[in-house]
Amino acid sequence: MGTAHESLVVATWEFSQSGVESCFDCLRKGGKPLDAVETGIHVVELEPTVTSVGYGGLPNANGELELDAAITDGAHFGAVFALRGYRSAIGIARGVLERSEHTALAGNGAVNFAQEVLGEAPLPDSELLTEHARRRLAEYRAGRFQGRPNESHDTVGMIAAQSTGDIAAGCATSGYPFKRPGRVGDSPLPGGGLFCESGLGAAVATGDGDDLMRLCPTHLIVELMRNGQSPQRACEEAVQRVMRYREQTGRDCRGAFIAVRCDALAWGAHATHEGFVVAHADGRRMDQSLLIPVEVPEARNKPWRRVCV
Over residues 87-112, the mean pLDDT reads 99
183 is in an annotated binding site: yes
218 is in an annotated binding site: no
185 is in an annotated binding site: yes
Task: Give the residue ranges of DSSP H helices in the chain.
Answer: 17-28, 33-45, 90-99, 107-116, 131-141, 209-212, 217-226, 231-249
Residue 233 near residue 248 (C-beta atoms within 8 A): no
207 is in an annotated binding site: yes
Element (H, E) at 277: strand 277-282
164 is in an annotated binding site: no
277 is in an annotated binding site: no
pLDDT tens per residue, range 173-209: 999 999 999 999 999 999 999 999 999 999 999 999 9
Residue extents of the structural domains in the chain:
4-300
63 is in an annotated binding site: no
**Portion of the chain with pLDDT greater than 90, in percent:** 81
Q: In sequence order, what are the residues at sequence separation of 6 or more whose Cβ sits closer than 8 angstroms to the Cβ of residue 253?
A: 207, 208, 211, 212, 242, 245, 246, 272
pLDDT at residue 122 is higher than 70: yes
Spatial CA neighbour of 173 closest among 196, 148, 206: 206
Please state, in angstroms and as integers, the Cα–Cα distance from residue 215 to each residue in 11, 24, 64, 164, following that order. 21, 31, 29, 31
pTM across the whole model: 0.92
Over residues 3-27, the mean pLDDT reads 88
Rounded to whole angstroms, how far apart are CA atoms 180 and 29? 42
pLDDT tens per residue, range 123-150: 999 999 999 999 999 999 999 887 654 4
CATH superfamily placement of domain 4-300: (Glycosyl)asparaginase (3.60.20.30)
Annotated catalytic residues are 155
3-class DSSP state for residue 225? helix
Give the pLDDT score at 276.
Answer: 87
Spatial CA neighbour of 92 closest among 64, 115, 62, 76: 115
Q: What is the mean pLDDT of the chain?
A: 90
184 is in an annotated binding site: yes
